């Protein structure tokens, strides 16, 4: 499965361009936003986080209930089969007096049929939970988790990470300098280029770099 996914990633023509590139925002957009928008976001984020955790728990509970019903249905089936099997030996078991054997067998068969009906109901209920309620819960869970993760990504990428980026660039520059000081025969093929590429990628993440490019 992992190999198939890797092949698909290589072959798939996926666009990673920012969706708002080339689309200027309305000049009055910022003024139209409510002043309490940050507080509203904080409130929504708190509610989304709590709701997401609850829906995660609900999905787990529903999955356990469904599996429990399936287990009960299997036990009912085994119980029903065992009762039906008893009727096959009743005649021999009570050979001393077989007058009541037909009534005994009919009682066990009736109980077996009742258990089999209960088994079917449990299986239908379990299937209904899995295909209906559980899928709805999962859909809502996935939506809330996506919104929760969106808020987390905003916190991660909106903060000032310039000092960390500058530190990584400095470390890589030192590493690159040390590589270039080595004798040529001790430098591994592509070693310097790999560090240069790392410096470029980290620099590209910096807002200062983007301002210089603009």
Q: Tell me which residue of 73, 50, 75 sits closest to 129, measured CA to CA.
A: 73
Q: Which of 56, 33, 36, 60 is closest to 148 using CA atoms?
A: 56
pLDDT at position 166 is 73
Task: Please tell me the distance from the alpha carbon of residue 50 to that of residue 57, in angstroms, as a whole number.
Answer: 11
Strands (E), the chain: none
pLDDT band at 8 (very low <50, low <70, confident <90, very high): low
Q: What is the pLDDT of residues 66-97, one digit of tens each?
A: 999 999 999 999 999 999 999 999 999 999 99
How confident is residue 212, by pLDDT bands cut at 50, 70 and 90? very low
Task: Report yes or no: 112 and 80 within 8 Å, Cβ to Cβ.
Answer: yes
Average pLDDT taken over every residue of the chain: 82
Can you give the C-alpha Rg of the chain in angstroms?
A: 34
Higher pLDDT, 20 or 196: 196
The yes-or-no verdict on residue 20 having pLDDT over 70 is no
Mean pLDDT of 31-40: 84
Task: Give yes or no for residue 2 having a pLDDT over 80.
Answer: no
Q: How confident is the model at residue 15 (pLDDT cuts 50, 70, 90)?
A: low
pLDDT, residue 58, reads 95
The pLDDT tens digits for 163-191 are 777 777 788 778 877 777 778 777 778 77
- Domain locations in the chain? 38-159, 160-214
Query: Between 74 and 199, where is the model more confident?
Result: 74
- 143-165 mean pLDDT: 80
Distance of alpha carbon 47 from alpha carbon 44, whole angstroms = 5
pLDDT at position 214? 36
């Amino acid at each position: 499965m992992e190999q198939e996914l890797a092949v698909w990633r290589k072959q798939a023509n996926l666009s990673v361009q920012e969706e708002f590139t080339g689309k200027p925002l309305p000049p009055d957009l910022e003024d139209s936003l409510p002043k309490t928008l940050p507080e509203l976001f904080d409130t929504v984020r708190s509610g989304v986080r709590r709701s997401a955790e609850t829906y995660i728990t609900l999905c787990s509970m529903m999955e356990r209930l469904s599996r429990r019903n399936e287990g009960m249905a299997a036990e009912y089936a085994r119980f029903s089969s065992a009762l039906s099997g008893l009727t096959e030996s009743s005649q021999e078991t009570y050979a001393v007096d077989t007058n009541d054997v037909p009534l005994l067998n009919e009682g066990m068969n009736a109980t077996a049929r009742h258990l089999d009906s209960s088994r079917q109901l449990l299986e239908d209920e379990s299937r209904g939970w899995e295909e209906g309620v559980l899928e709805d819960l999962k859909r809502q869970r996935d939506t809330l988790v996506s919104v929760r993760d969106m808020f987390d990504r905003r916190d991660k990428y909106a903060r000032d990470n310039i000092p960390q980026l500058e530190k990584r660039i400095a470390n890589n520059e030192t590493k690159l300098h040390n590589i270039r000081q080595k004798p040529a025969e001790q430098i591994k093929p592509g070693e310097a280029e790999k560090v240069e590429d790392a410096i470029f990628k980290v620099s590209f993440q910096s807002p200062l770099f983007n301002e210089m490019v603009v």
